[in-house]
Chains A and B, each alone.
Chain A
Amino acid sequence: MTSATPTADVPPPPPRTDAPSAISGRAIRPGDRIFLGLSRGSGIALLVIMGAITAFLTYRSVIAISGDHANFFTTFDWNATGTEPKFGIAVLAFGTVVSSLIAMVIAVPVAVGIALFISHYAPRKLASPLGYVIDLLAAVPSIIYGLWGALFLVPHLTGLYSWLDDYLGWTGIFRYGDGAARSLFTVGILLAIMILPIVTSVSREVFLQVPRMHEEAALALGATRWEVIRMSVLPFGRSGIISASMLGLGRALGETMAVATVLSPSFLIGASLLDPGGGTFAQNIASKFNEADEFGRDALIASGLVLFVITLLVNGAARLIIARRKEYSGAAS
């Protein structure tokens, strides 16, 4: 556009000193070159940082895993000091996956419910402040959830747990002895509360984008509000809900402080989810860091690398779903 040549009827512009270079469009001004260089440089810097994260974590992990006197993936222990360090991520992987799954099972239906409430059920005057408050809650730091979880939630869950033990204890999963409720299940509940705002706010965005015509068509056919939601809102929002849940899952997997304050860790995998014990990658790093020597830190870095890879896979999958949806909705509308 900048290189448009003047047509014949237009009188030639008055001669200016810098006119030729401005009109030809080939010569790039030094200012432009510097600015392009700076902005492209920052983009490249971002890539370099990502590459460096992968490279350095892998490098330190190789040191750690080659010094491990036990199988890194199947060992139920974390003893990274001394002459014969033995450590493995089996318990951490189990705890991370189980607590995040519990969080998902609790949080996703509730979050979809709240999102529907805000987008379709709440009185109009209430809806937009509510969305605002949910966004604000997404900003509450995780350490505060941890503090609240440890000092308020844990004491209030013992009653529920003994009740679960009375009626569902026979399954083995819900067996509960006495003691503080500092278990993987509590962690799951706390993580669910923590990821609720983010899952809600993404799902709400998607629900608000449902074409008005779809809903009105369903209403015109005599559908009840629930039928409108089931037939037009949920099918439209399905991929949005999936990607919102995956984003929530990514957060739950990497959450550190809330787990570190609530869980009472151990390196055993028990059948019961309600009894204290277990651990997660991030929690283990935070609680073992202070006592670790240099090799111990390498060992923790190795477990961090596993966590990094897992979250990359989950987030990558979420992004792929979102990207596919963009193409799809772009073609449809």
Chain B
Amino acid sequence: MSDVMTDRRPRAEHPGGTPLPVSLRQARLPRWTPAALALVSAALGTGIGLVGGLDSRIQWGLIAALLFIGGTFALAAGVEGARQAKDRLATSLVWIAFLLAVVPLASLLWETVARGTTVLDGFFLSHSMGTLPDALPGGGIYHAIIGTLEQVGLATLIAAPLGLLTAVYLVEYGRGRLAKVVTFFVDVMTGIPSIVAGLFILSVWILILGFGPSGFAGSMALAILMMPVVVRSTEEMLKLVPNELREASLALGVPKWRTILKVVLPTSIGGITTGVMLAIARITGETAPVLLLVWGAKTINGNPFEGAQQSLPLYVFQQWQQGSDASYDRAWSAALVLIAFVMILNLVARGIARWKAPKTGR
């Protein structure tokens, strides 16, 4: 508040005070000033970077950013006054925060696409590593794709029905203590680190029950990670279903379970599908539990219940660990396939959400 009060402009209504200002409009910088300043500071940053022989482009960017912030603030403080200068400072900081975030994220996507397309072809998608030595070029991700699809599929088969029913319980039946406790633990479960879920299955399935590594062990850990996400999103969607629909159905004498199955769920099916698909996208990229439970095979293993399998994220990690140029190429290409898979799932899921959004009558 104090900033508003300490306005140095003379006030017209001030009784017996300073005379009226000639114009009520304050001096403003021209509209193109920020753009011009941005250009100038970018040029200066590059210049200083070149002259000073700074290796890292990050430094050039930092210098340019500092110049821009300082320049805008000084100029605005001189021409427009302290309040406007602060406003401009905030604006430039917000813009810089935005650019600061865009640069690494754009670079991440760019690097993955640029380096990922080097060995990505039909052969890469349709062959496994087999007995190929890791340092040699060749090989592919067919076994990893099969593993990922099977593990994620099994995890979805476990987690989606359980999550859906839990959400139905919380929204349609849950009133008492149990519902509160379940809600709380769903929240807690959302925050479980993936490696801890992996350790849990490791301790039960492999250390205590004595099973070996398998795709199914991995899918159990993935299901633990997926369940709370499904519950959360389904719950939100069920809450959006207008109560009038339920009441109308119940008033016609339809049993509650049929009301849920035939009225509530069909109304919200779009949103539920979206939630499940987003959850699938999330667990597809999980590496840590797969590392602990599936171990990673080099050959095709189509049976998720027996023996080590491969999965795309784990393949990326293992190829990176090999540390040769050929394996780096494979890692990037597999990363590109993985990112494309996840992104497509996301886009389709959000498309469904928009297309099937429950009509709330407005």
Contact = CB atoms under 8 A, between A and B. Distances in A.
B288 A282 contact: yes
A112 B172 CA distance: 36
Nearest to A51: B185
A144 B285 contact: yes
Interface stretch (A85-93, A209-217, A251-259, A267-275): A251-259
B322 interface: no
Interface in A44-88: 44-47, 49-50, 52-53, 56-57, 59-60
A57 B339 contact: no
B104 A56 contact: no
Given A49-B224, A113-B98, A254-B195, A148 B111 contact: yes
A47 B196 contact: no
Contacts of A253: 193
Interface string A15-56: 000000010000001011011101111111111011011001
B192 A308 contact: yes
B260 A137 contact: no
Q: Classify chain B: how many residues form its interface, as a range.
A: 35 or more
Given A113-B94, A227-B3, A256-B193, A36 B173 contact: yes
A117 B95 contact: yes
A196 B193 CA distance: 18
Interface stretch (B35-43, B67-75, B119-127, B251-259): B251-259
16 contacts: A42-B163, A45-B166, A46-B162, A47-B181, A57-B200, A112-B97, A114-B101, A117-B95, A139-B285, A159-B59, A226-B89, A247-B191, A255-B193, A257-B317, A261-B317, A308-B193
Interface of B: 1, 3-4, 54-59, 83-84, 86-87, 89-91, 93-98, 100-101, 104-105, 107-108, 111-112, 161-166, 168-170, 172-174, 178-179, 181-182, 184-197, 199-200, 202-204, 207-208, 224, 227-228, 231, 247, 250-251, 253, 255-258, 260-261, 278, 281-282, 284-288, 291-292, 313, 316-317, 320, 328, 331-332, 335, 338-339, 342-343, 346-347, 350
Interface of A: 1-2, 22, 29, 31-32, 34-36, 38-47, 49-50, 52-53, 56-57, 59-60, 109-114, 116-117, 121-122, 132, 135-137, 139-148, 150-153, 156-160, 163, 193, 196-197, 200, 221-227, 229, 231, 247, 250, 253-257, 260-261, 282, 285-286, 289, 294, 297-298, 300-301, 304, 307-308, 311-312, 314-316, 319
